[in-house]
Amino acid sequence: MASITAEQRAELLAGLRFDAGQAESAQTDRIASDFYPVPEHLRALEPDVVLVIGDRGAGKSMLVTAAASPELRSAVVARSPGLRVPVGDTEWVKAFPASDGPDAAGWERFAIKHADQPGALQELWFAYLARLLGDRLDTKGQRDLNALLSCQGGDAESCFSAFKEAGVAVLLALDRLDREFEVSQKWLLIAYDELDTVVLSNWHAMGSIVRGLVSFWASYARRWKRIRGKIFLRTDFYRRHADVAGADIAKLAANRVELTWSDKHLYALLIKKIANQTPTLHRYARLAPVTFEPTDSVLKSIPHVTSKEDARPFVERLVGPYMGANDKKGQSVNWMLDSVRDGNAKVSPRSLVQLVEIAAERERSSPRATGTQLLHPVSLRNALDGVSKRHVVQAGDEFRWLVGVKERLQRDREVPWDRKEIEKLLRARWEDSWSRTEFVAAPADSPRELVDYLAELGILRDRGRNHFDVPDLFLAGLDLIRRGGVARK
């Protein structure tokens, strides 16, 4: 396979700027060319699926955005003949996050004030759903719910009081709207995403609020035929609160969709993203060789990857076969995925894409690659530290307490270590804030429980016999070190 010139490599590297992890703000046409349709994930489009579970970076927001685009949704459905998608006019509406509603402090105040009223949060979610659909209600509904529809959305107490005052009129108005949709063959799918931001620093309040939402839709998912809820939850939240929510979440969980990524789908997504960046990268990918399906007018070029081995020629063209002079440092096709696995052996597409993007940045500033390579193993290894640091910062936006974990584990400490040592470090200043900018309590009742939770999140990796490691995905981001591995120079 012929080498590429330094000029050609520079042009190709210039195209490897992805803005990874920006699904919420990316343009729809860019999302269409980046989006890789995993068949199991697409079941989230089916009307009977209410609960969609996924880890950070697993593609929840990308899926919501794709579903909300009629053009992209049609292209995806056309490729999935077995999918039981709604027939007729279908509209996706984002109910959360939304500008019409309380801020995080408002949600927290309401949850604390009404902690002894189990149904209050379900009713508040009902109130905001009615407000969301207010302009679609019939004349009678708008007249009966005038007080609810006209109060300020940021005032949870006012909306709650207006909802209570309206009584059964709220239910009847939405029942009529649902029947209207059924007659006109329309579907309205209500999406709730980024629920971990509903409250920023009070885990117990956030749990109560999200359980209220789950309970609400567990009650009405079978009542309404054409108004359907779609709740996108982080995996750790679902696991932690499934027992507490009891029968409500069990009703929805039986038909849930879990956004997990196999090795073949991860590489298919990466190759698709690279190939659709620029015409020169498209030609580069096809020379790997990689088999591509017929070009789709919306989804663009889609690689045909049936196993990780199908991606090997592309990875070896991109990086080389090994992460060193020979296989002692590992095969690149394995290393690229293993390096960004969390403690539960899961890889998010966001982390894999960022690994390539940051390595390309390093190659542009300090070229090392030769032959057909775009990325030298050293650039890729050094990029891993950047991925880790970015990953921890981004995780800190959702886990406000993570900076406190980082400070208590102590800088430049070598891993692995045993449970007692970790618990001792975490116990320091336990009652103090776990954030530098606001008061944030520990997300557990004891150091032992916190260690278990960190392992559940994949921040720690349980090696058995009460010994724990930290995966590379979190290592540099937490300022920890491990000896050995691929050379950094």
Domain with residue 95: its CATH number is 3.40.50
pTM of the predicted model, to two decimals?
0.89
Same domain, 99 and 229: yes
Flag whether 393 is in a domain: no
How high is the pLDDT of residue 21?
46
Report in angstroms the alpha-carbon separations of 177 from 148, 172, 230: 17, 9, 18
Taking 70 as the threshold, does the pLDDT of residue 32 lie above it?
Answer: yes
pLDDT at 3: 83
Alpha carbon distance 288, 283 (integer Å): 9
477 vs 489: CA distance, rounded Å: 20
- Chosen domain end from 361, 387, 413: 387
Q: Is the pLDDT of residue 217 over 70?
A: yes
394 belongs to a structural domain: no
Whether residues 368 and 248 fall in one domain:
no
List the structure tokens of 444.
């557990």
Domain boundary among 357, 387, 417: 387
Q: What is the rounded average pLDDT for all residues in the chain?
A: 91
Amino acid at 243: D
pLDDT bracket for residue 323 (50, 70, 90): very high
Q: Determine the pLDDT at residue 23.
A: 47
Residue 82 near residue 215 (C-beta atoms within 8 A): no
109 lies in the same domain as 60: yes
What's the angle, vertex CA 112, arms to CA 110 and CA 113, rounded to 5?
A: 65
Q: What is the mean pLDDT of residues 166-177?
A: 98
pLDDT at residue 269, rounded to an integer: 96
β-pair type (51-54, 480-481): unpaired
Question: Do 128 and 54 have their domain in common?
Answer: yes
> What percent of the chain is predicted at pLDDT more than 90?
71
Tell me, what CATH number does 476's domain have?
Answer: 1.10.10
Q: Domain boundary residue among 259, 287, 318?
A: 259
Same domain, 80 and 188: yes
Could you tell me if 99 and 13 lie in one domain? no
Domain range for 185 is 39-259
Q: Is residue 348 domain-shared with residue 457, that is, in the same domain?
A: no
Is residue 30 domain-resident?
no
Q: Average the pLDDT over 341-362 and give the result.
A: 96
Model pLDDT, residue 98: 86
Domain count, the chain: 3
Same domain, 96 and 241: yes
Between residues 268 and 88, the one the model is more confident about = 268
Inside any domain, residue 166: yes
Find all residues with CB under 8 Å of 161, minimum gap 6, and list them. none
Indicate whether 201 and 272 sit together in one domain: no
Is the residue at 29 inside a domain?
Answer: no
Residues 276, 184 within the same domain = no
Same domain, 225 and 303: no
Q: What is the pLDDT of residue 411?
A: 86
- Of residues 384, 406, 385, the one with CA closest to residue 395: 406
Provide the pLDDT for residue 28. 63
The reply to whether 107 and 215 lie within a common domain is: yes
